[in-house]
Amino acid sequence: MPSSKALYHSEAPSAAGAAGEEVIILGGGVSGLTCGILLAESGRHVRLIAQKHWRETPSGKAGGLWLPYRIEPRDRVLRWSAQTFAVLTELARDPGNGVLLREQIELYRDNTPPERVWWLAAVPKHRRIPPAQLPVGYRDGFSALVPVMDVPLYMPRLERRFLAAGGTIDIAGRAVDSIDSLFGHARVIINCTGLGAQTLCNDAELKPIRGQLLRMTNPGIDRCTADESHPLGIAYVIARSSDVILGGTADLGSFDESVHADSRQRLLDVNLQLEPRLREAQAIEDVVCLRPYRSAVRLEVEHRPAGRIIHNYGHGGAGFTVSWGCAMEVLQLLQQC
């Protein structure tokens, strides 16, 4: 983990927008690091400042499945997801990047209206599962080949790539309380603060969706399975290389980060039905974190007297799924600044 450095440096501000200039990224989760890579690799001097290291944020705790879950609006999300899919497919060629291509099985207890699987438009390889091959109790289902980011491998890899491109990371240990205070150091600030933007930008539109997961050892499961319409609540299994993630819960508006014993039991019960091989798995840890949900992702330029802010937050349950597509749009907006 990079060491904490002074948050504020006395340097002359630089011009904005072009290669060679300094840009500050606020936020060190998957959004901040992915933007950091694209900007640093395009020749900018990028300083990333964050209150917390990614290990302590939702980006360190998420499942890492490519799936546009609880994120809006669909037209932009479809584009960002497809762009991210393409980058991840390329990264999956080198196992050191921490990206796996897995079969994702989506099961439904009723006939699926097409709008429920709108995101399949971004998936090159998918098929409807014939009724005779569906497990008992299900009336419809899809199989899709999608990327899974093995978060414990993928995030360190992003961090190393950003640093190798010349980026710097300041883990400040405290929240920046005004973006304007950073304009003395750069004329463009990229705001990737996730749920932190609620206070920082006074954004009442941004809300938490609490998620509880159970991380277990992987007894050899190599596919992901989901049942979003389980009568006891959403159920999904994400198979990574050395662990599996059992989900999930989705409590809109809840800031409660404590582990609920009844939710843990439900996660075990419903996911055992989906993936019987979980009987051979051992629990590693309970995980609770908050998805930064907004009725629409905020990805736009805000013009301030002292400079520009490019906002990139509110990715809900799909921050990994749209990360590269959003970073590409941030780079485009920066070039226009």
57 binds ligand FAD (CB under 6 A): yes
The residue from 52, 266, 298, 308 that contacts ligand FAD (CB under 6 A) is 52
The residue from 21, 32, 187, 203 that contacts ligand FAD (CB under 6 A) is 32
Q: Closest CB to ligand FAD among 110 and 205? A: 205
292 binds ligand FAD (CB under 6 A): yes
98 binds ligand FAD (CB under 6 A): no
C-alpha to C-alpha distance for 150 and 97, rounded to whole angstroms: 9
Stretch touching ligand FAD by CB under 6 A, among 126-134, 216-224, 257-265, 287-295 = 287-295
The residue from 39, 321, 325, 328 that contacts ligand FAD (CB under 6 A) is 321
User: What is the nearest approach in angstroms of ligand FAD to the Cβ of residue 139?
Assistant: 25
Instruction: Please give the size of the binding site for ligand FAD, defined by CB under 6 A.
Output: 40
The residue from 50, 122, 237, 244 that contacts ligand FAD (CB under 6 A) is 50
Binding mask 163-202 for ligand FAD (x = CB under 6 A): ------------xx---------------xxxxx---x--
Binding site for ligand FAD (CB under 6 A): 26-32, 50-52, 57-59, 62-65, 175-176, 192-196, 200, 211, 213, 248, 289-292, 313, 315-321
